[in-house]
Amino acid sequence: MSPATIFNIHLVLGYVPWLLCFGAYIWPRLKLMDGVEAQRAIATLHSFRFFGLVFLLPGVVGPNLPAGFAAFAAYGDFATGLLAMLALLAVRRPTIFWPSVVAFNLVGTVDLVVDYYHGTVLGLPDLAGQLGATYAIPILYVPLLMITHVAAFYLLARPQPKALPGAGDQEAGGGLSSLRSPSSAL
């Protein structure tokens, strides 16, 4: 098999175990969580995307890794990670938290889609060896990131339960019906 064929098989099959794991263990729990808690869990995973800057490190990636792929992937991940961290830091400030959640999911999804596009246009499957130590990122990490972005958008779009009468100062709808202390999530 050619390196490009192996890489493409890895890309596709990288989604299979994550979808199975997500469907069996993660999604059932996320669906039951309060909107804030569920988005915090997803933001926690995406806050590690600063690691994408590794695509810019000589010696970690090969010298022939297309710069058009590496730079966009690195900075797109970095921006997504910072926005996810902002969401985590702003969990008690809904006016900052919710826009940050939307922003990191939009930026992160665009980053991944454009990375797939750049990878295809620039012939990344034929150059998969140039990924070096970062080879595992598109195979193991990216599928989970894309799946959780889709889940986050679904959770943002689903109707939220209304607050019960006399529920105090809790806001209804929009995932804000029960802000909890940071120690209550994950």
Tell me, what's the pLDDT at 160?
A: 72
Beta strands in the chain (DSSP E): none
161 falls in which pLDDT band (50, 70, 90)?
Answer: low
The mean per-residue pLDDT over the stretch 115-122 comes to: 96
Tell me, what's the pLDDT at 17?
A: 97
Phi, psi of 169 (to 5 degrees): -95, 15
Q: What's the whole-model pTM score? A: 0.84
Do residues 128 and 3 touch, judged by C-beta distance below 8 A? Answer: yes
Alpha-carbon gap, residue 38 to 44, rounded angstroms:
10
Tell me, what's the pLDDT at 162?
A: 62
Angle CA(22)–CA(44)–CA(91) in degrees, nearest 5? 120
The mean per-residue pLDDT over the stretch 33-51 comes to: 97
Do residues 152 and 101 touch, judged by C-beta distance below 8 A? Answer: yes
**Amino acid letter at 105?**
N
Judge whether residue 180 has pLDDT over 60.
Answer: no
Helix 142-157 and helix 35-46: axis angle, to 10°?
A: 160
